[in-house]
Structure 1
């Protein structure tokens, strides 16, 4: 059974999701459609890429992932189909694929050979992506969709900065609980730490965390905590509270870690 996941910035009050699912069910008989997320902020490809990157690897190989975020085709950002780690991705080459993938994909093809319907020119998910998914399901290859593209349009993710015994990172994702994921990986943290004591400073020096939890419940309710989440990244949270709301954290807010020599 073919599997197609959908990630969009649509609101459920709109007809777009229903229309796309209807088209997929019509042209891909027996397909299983999975809603990955439809709560992405409008045009936020960074947020969408974080969701997709951390979810697609748990799907069976051969799954198809349609990305309906900032999906309009432009001369600089064509519609493409990408094969990466035996998964297929369909969307606009606006930088999102470079944030999802690590290293070069196995294949990148511009979607040029799909017949477009004039009524749906502003709805590429319905007009192009669904048909591209149907093609992949039937033929298991991308080559007949269009011409080979050598590389993806690249966005450079913000890296954590290491300076004089301090790591300065940024919040890159805020989940529905208000927990803030940073761009500080466990590997980076441990390589700089070298078994030293540390303080994690959130927003200002008034909020300090001095240990890393394995689970949320290790900290009392309403207290601040830090842990490395399932993405392998440092997450700052409040046990049974909303950290982002309380501290007015936003994407790109700074998180600093100071290390202290014994």
Structure 2
């Protein structure tokens, strides 16, 4: 039985998701369909990649992941099927694969041998991705889908900046609670910390956090807090509150950590 996950920016309002699920169940009647997220901001491959990267690792090997975000094929960004860590990913080669995958894929195939239906040319998830998923489900292989490709189109994620005892990072993800995840990793923080006192500065110098929590409940309701989340990245939040809304934080908002020598 194939497990097929779906990530899109359709947000449940349109018929697209229902049509795709119907097509998948018609050609893969034994498939188990799993919704990762359909609330991705329109065309936001950075947000989609964060969701997929942190979710797929908990799926059984051999799972198939359809990426329906910025999925239109262009001459520069063809449709690909990619095998990585014994999982299969289907989408457009627009940089999203490179953001999901830390190392090199096991196999990259350009999708060229799948029959296209003229009436669905603007709907690649239905027209192409569903059929590719069915092929992989049946053969547990990318063979026959098209020619192999050596590398992926790469996007370089924004890195935290280290300068004069300060880490300057950016917000890379905001969850439905308004908690913000930054690109500051636990490893980077610990390499700079060296048991020194520190201040996490949110919105310039107006809001300061001086400790790292292990759990949200360590602070009273309404208090600001910082912790390293399950992604191993620094998260800033308000216990039982919406930090992003309160402070009008957005993707790429700066978060700084200043370390102080004794």
TM range (shorter): over 0.9
Q: Secondary structure at the match of 1:199?
A: strand
Alignment correspondent of 1:242: 242
For residues 207-260 of structure 1, the C-alpha deviation after alignment (integer angstroms, 9 at most, x for no partner) is 000000000000011010000000000000000000000000000000000000
The Cα of 1:106 is off from its aligned counterpart by 0.3
Is 1:260 the counterpart of 2:256 in the alignment?
no
Question: Equivalences for 1:138-153 in 2 at 5 Å?
Answer: 138-153=138-153
Is 1:61 the counterpart of 2:68 in the alignment?
no
Looking at structure 2, the residues matched to 95 and 88 of structure 1 have their Cα atoms a distance apart, in angstroms, of 16
TM-score, normalised on structure 1? Answer: 0.99
The Cα of 1:11 is off from its aligned counterpart by 2.4
Looking at structure 2, the residues matched to 225 and 21 of structure 1 have their Cα atoms a distance apart, in angstroms, of 40
Uncovered stretches (5+) of structure 1, i.e. residues with no partner: none
Count of aligned residue pairs for this structure pair: 262
Looking at structure 2, the residues matched to 111 and 133 of structure 1 have their Cα atoms a distance apart, in angstroms, of 11
The Cα of 1:204 is off from its aligned counterpart by 1.6
Contact 2:11 2:40 in 1 (8 A): no
Q: Secondary structure at the match of 2:17?
A: helix
Looking at structure 2, the residues matched to 258 and 204 of structure 1 have their Cα atoms a distance apart, in angstroms, of 12
For residues 57-81 of structure 1, the C-alpha deviation after alignment (integer angstroms, 9 at most, x for no partner) is 0000000000000000000000000
Q: Secondary structure at the match of 1:200?
A: strand
Is 1:18 the counterpart of 2:15 in the alignment?
no
For residues 163-206 of structure 1, the C-alpha deviation after alignment (integer angstroms, 9 at most, x for no partner) is 00000000000000000000000000000111111000001211
| Consecutive aligned runs of 4 or more in structure 1 exceeding 4 Å deviation | none
Alignment correspondent of 2:176: 176
TM-score, normalised on structure 2? Answer: 0.99
Looking at structure 2, the residues matched to 29 and 112 of structure 1 have their Cα atoms a distance apart, in angstroms, of 24
